Amino acid sequence: MFEQSISTLAQKLRNKDLSSVELTRHFLARIAKLDPQLNSFITVNEQRALEQAAAADALLQNGKGSSLTGIPVAHKDLFCTEGTLTTCGSKMLNNFIPPYESTVTQRIQQAGAIMLGKTNMDEFAMGSSNENSFYGAVKNPWNLDKVPGGSSGGSAAAVSAGLVVAATGTDTGGSIRQPASFCGITGLKPTYGRVSRFGMIAYASSLDQGGPMAKSAEDCAHLMQAMAGFDDKDSTSAEQPVDDYLANINAPLTGLKIGLPKEYFGDGLDSKVADVIMAAVKEFEKLGASVKEISLPNLQLSIPSYYVIAPSEASSNLSRFDGVRFGHRCDDPKDLLDMYMRSRAEGFGTEVQKRIMVGTYALSEGYYDAYYLKAQKIRRLIKEDFVKALAEVDVIMGPVAPTTAFGLGSKTSDPVAMYLEDIYTLSVNLAGIPAMSVPAGFVDGMPVGLQIMGNYFAEAKLLNVAHQYQQHSDWHLQIPTMAKGA
Amino acid sequence: MSIDKQDVQKIAHLARLALTEEGADQYQHSLSSILSLVEQMQSVNTDGVEPLSNPLEMTQRLREDIVTEENRRDAFLANAPLTEAGLFLVPKVID
């Protein structure tokens, strides 16, 4: 059952070939058996899931519900879920039970999906490997000695190993696409503002965006149908009409113009990964697409720009965790300053403290213009590169990451080496455009993701392009050995 | 760009993070390498370029100044370590 798509499972539920309670028990049993090896969940909500499943069965019995009704999903542990522990992967929030529901999880719940639990993640979504969680590192189902990617690594590993049908993730600098690529699943980072950020614990507010992670583009489309749309509780939510993400998913790709940025294929890209990406592009040509070389000349600047903007916003957002209003509080503070400083030092992990300090430095007197303002100007240059390129082509393609998943612990001592892993993903967040990772092949047994980037609010086009590729390839259907036979 | 241990302690204080001597050593190395990385920006001429803070260039949406939320005091107090008579109790930190 764990190998089947949302459409197939929805049909079986509707035909009464299967009940949601049976389906939910199946996935809960898989979690119990396989997750001790992966550590992809922080919280599993067995009782709540079975209650939701029984309610879904009652709806389906009456012929009601959506395509998500009765389908087991999981949420990244930074979406606030009312009454369920929400930690953001941090000691700071290890006893936080939100009194309200995020818009994303509420909409998915209203669509009838079953929440099995909350997935592990890099603390406060800061990381490219999922080794920065207070709850321990997540392992890659394709090789347990490798990272799953971060920060939505728990969601990616859980979907990849078939512990859940689909999951939510968030992407601030590549945190949906990179783990999707490393774990061989499909992930979509929507346009900034397309999916509500209400109830998401903020890392960098002008970059964060929630999105779906699933086995296929079609499954991502089912999730997007529920997730996307204006939300007046989020002041950055876009007041744009929402597409029907399934309506044109089968449209042919004849005439599609693909841009290949030369900067994505230069030094630093593993040649075997490059071969996989170019083979995938050739498949698109067979489907009627044409390819054109383009340029995104400011790509290299996305790393320094991002690593000023994101930590600056983080230093502001995370100031609320002070031992008074939110989060861990130290024992026996001698005065107010001591309470703030020790509570934050004890509650935050090393990577979070590092980024808070970088942000504090960039925003401090005398440095603001040279760092923060400069980074925001470069951000405009990066956006203009995309606007210019997307005026000439329909979509842009390239790798998601320079390499496949790397070894656990292999980059933890060198922050800059870790940050360079994000070279192909960061610019998308700075510009705010949508982008996907789609399984495109393997290198030495590890999955490789093809990145497909599109114009603002062109999620339906991206899903169509990815779906058509998946109709002619089976990379997304491959299953890690550890997930078989469980 | 290299920063010294004193700078690290100063930044940590501004960020309200208590640092040990050992921690300051570790952060000095990693912050210096990150700041060297971001220094690359300085080589680019951005004269006349408008900063971009929101990718959609949206402006803050305003709403009517009216109360829309119901009073959920009990739910909001539920996470607090100590409460009394519907109020948060916090440690005494000011004499």
Do the Cβ atoms of A342 and A333 come closer than 8 Å?
Answer: yes
C-beta atoms of A370 and B30 within 8 A? no
A contacts of B63 (beta carbons < 8 Å) = 232
- Determine the Cα–Cα distance for residues A407 and A409; give it in Å rounded to an integer: 6
Task: Look at the block and give the residue holding tokens 């100044």.
Answer: B65
What are the phi and psi torsion angles at A198 (to 5°)? -65, 125
C-alpha to C-alpha distances, A56 to A132, A167, A466, B51, nearest whole angstrom: 36, 18, 30, 49
Report the DSSP pairing between strands B87-88 and B83-84: antiparallel
Among B31, B39, B53, B89, the residue to mutate for chain A (most A Cβ within 10 A): B53
Strand order in the sheet with A186-189: A41-44, A114-119, A72-76, A166-170, A210-214, A186-189, A435-443, A446-453, A395-399, A257-261, A290-294
Report the chain A residue with the minimal C-alpha distance to residue B19.
Answer: A345
Cβ–Cβ contact A204 with B under 8 A = no
Please confirm whether the linkage preceding A151 is cis (ω < 30° from 0). Answer: yes
Report the chain A residue with the minimal C-alpha distance to residue B39.
Answer: A304
Say what the pLDDT of residue A417 is. 81
Report the chain B residue with the minimal C-alpha distance to residue A234.
Answer: B61
- Amino acid symbol at A169: G
- Amino acid symbol at A248: N
- Strand, helix or coil for residue B51: coil
- pLDDT above 80 for B93: no
A contacts of B61 (beta carbons < 8 Å) = 235
Which residues 420-439 of A are in CB contact (within 8 Å) with B? 430-433
- Which of B55, B61, B76 is opposite residue A432, by nearest beta carbon? B55
Q: Of A67, A129, A175, A237, which one is the catalytic site residue?
A: A175
> Does residue B17 fall inside a structural domain?
yes
Report the chain A residue with the minimal C-alpha distance to residue B53.
Answer: A376
Do the Cβ atoms of A164 and A214 come closer than 8 Å?
Answer: no
Say what the pLDDT of residue B61 is. 86
How many Cα neighbours within 13 Å face the side chain of A225? 21
Domains in chain B, number: 1
- Determine the Cα–Cα distance for residues A321 and A250; give it in Å rounded to an integer: 47
C-beta atoms of B44 and A381 within 8 A? yes
A contacts of B37 (beta carbons < 8 Å) = 303-304, 307, 416, 419
Interface A-B, measured as beta-carbon pairs within 8 A, has a size of 155
In sequence order, which ranges of A146-227 are alpha helices (DSSP H)?
153-160, 177-183, 217-227
- Amino acid symbol at B84: E
Torsion of CA A470, A192, A72, A127, to 10 degrees: 90
Nearest in space to A194 (alpha carbons), one of A164, A220, A159: A220
Cβ–Cβ contact B77 with A under 8 A = no
C-beta atoms of B12 and A376 within 8 A? no
Say what the pLDDT of residue A11 is. 96
Q: How distant is the Cα of B93 from the closest Cα of chain A, in angstroms?
A: 5
Residue B59 banded pLDDT, cuts 50, 70, 90:
confident
Say what the pLDDT of residue A324 is. 84
Q: For chain A, how many residues are written?
A: 486
- Determine the Cα–Cα distance for residues A463 and A208; give it in Å rounded to an integer: 20
Pull the structure tokens for residue A428: 């998308």
Q: Is B61 or A20 the better-scoring residue by pLDDT?
A: A20
DSSP state of A231: -
Please spell the DSSP secondary structure of A402-437, one letter per residue.
SSSPPBTTSSTT-HHHHHHTTTTTHHHHHHT--EEE
C-beta atoms of A344 and B16 within 8 A? yes
Largest CA distance in chain A: 70
Report the chain A residue with the minimal C-alpha distance to residue B13.
Answer: A341
Q: Give the residues across from A397 on adjacent strands.
A: A452
> Which residue range is the domain that position B19 belongs to?
5-42
C-alpha to C-alpha distances, A468 to A9, A249, A255, A434, nearest whole angstrom: 21, 8, 14, 18
- Determine the Cα–Cα distance for residues A469 and A218; give it in Å rounded to an integer: 11
Say what the pLDDT of residue B62 is. 87
A contacts of B18 (beta carbons < 8 Å) = 338, 341-342, 344-345
Q: How distant is the Cα of B86 from the closest Cα of chain A, in angstroms?
A: 16
C-beta atoms of B37 and A300 within 8 A? no
A76 catalytic residue (yes or no): yes
- Amino acid symbol at A399: P
C-beta atoms of B56 and A364 within 8 A? no
Report the chain A residue with the minimal C-alpha distance to residue B32.
Answer: A358
Cβ–Cβ contact A357 with B under 8 A = yes
Q: Give the residues across from A210 on adjacent strands.
A: A170
Pull the structure tokens for residue A95: 């006893």
- Determine the Cα–Cα distance for residues A115 and A45; give it in Å rounded to an integer: 8
A contacts of B56 (beta carbons < 8 Å) = 191-193, 238, 432, 456
Q: Where are the domains of chain A?
A: 6-251+462-483
Say what the pLDDT of residue A325 is. 78
Here the CATH number for the domain that contains residue B11 is: 1.10.20
Distance of CA B66 to the CA centre of its chain: 29
Cβ–Cβ contact B66 with A under 8 A = no
B contacts of A96 (beta carbons < 8 Å) = 79
- Strand, helix or coil for residue A34: helix
Cβ–Cβ contact A303 with B under 8 A = yes
C-beta atoms of A99 and B55 within 8 A? no
**Number of other CB atoms surrounding residue A26 within 10 Å:** 14
Pull the structure tokens for residue A86: 């929400």
Angle at which helices A6-14 and A20-38 cross, to 10°: 150
Q: Averaged in consecutive runs of 10 residues, what is the pLDDT profile of chain A (486 residues)?
A: 94 96 98 98 97 97 94 98 97 95 98 98 96 98 97 98 98 98 98 98 97 98 98 94 97 98 94 98 98 97 96 96 87 91 96 96 91 97 98 98 96 82 96 98 98 98 98 97 87
- Amino acid symbol at A122: D
A contacts of B59 (beta carbons < 8 Å) = none
Do the Cβ atoms of A289 and A393 come closer than 8 Å?
Answer: no
Task: Look at the block and give the residue holding tokens 């693909």.
Answer: A258
Question: Which of A65-79, B31-45, B52-66 shows the highest mean pLDDT?
Answer: A65-79
Say what the pLDDT of residue B63 is. 86
Cβ–Cβ contact B61 with A under 8 A = yes
> Does residue B36 fall inside a structural domain?
yes
Nearest 5°: the CA angle A250, A3, A80 is 85
Do the Cβ atoms of A182 and A447 come closer than 8 Å?
Answer: yes
- pLDDT above 90 for B14: yes
- Determine the Cα–Cα distance for residues A35 and A138; give it in Å rounded to an integer: 10
- Determine the Cα–Cα distance for residues B35 and A10; give it in Å rounded to an integer: 51
Q: Of A19, A40, A67, A76, which one is the catalytic site residue?
A: A76
Q: Of A40, A129, A151, A152, which one is the catalytic site residue?
A: A151
The dotted CATH code for A6-251+462-483 is 3.90.1300.10
Pull the structure tokens for residue A380: 């405009």
C-beta atoms of B58 and A353 within 8 A? no
pTM above 0.95, yes or no: yes
How many Cα neighbours within 13 Å face the side chain of A140? 27
- Determine the Cα–Cα distance for residues A275 and A224; give it in Å rounded to an integer: 31
Do the Cβ atoms of A406 and A146 come closer than 8 Å?
Answer: yes
- Determine the Cα–Cα distance for residues B81 and A276; give it in Å rounded to an integer: 53
Task: Look at the block and give the residue holding tokens 């991002």.
Answer: A306
- Determine the Cα–Cα distance for residues A22 and A54; give it in Å rounded to an integer: 10
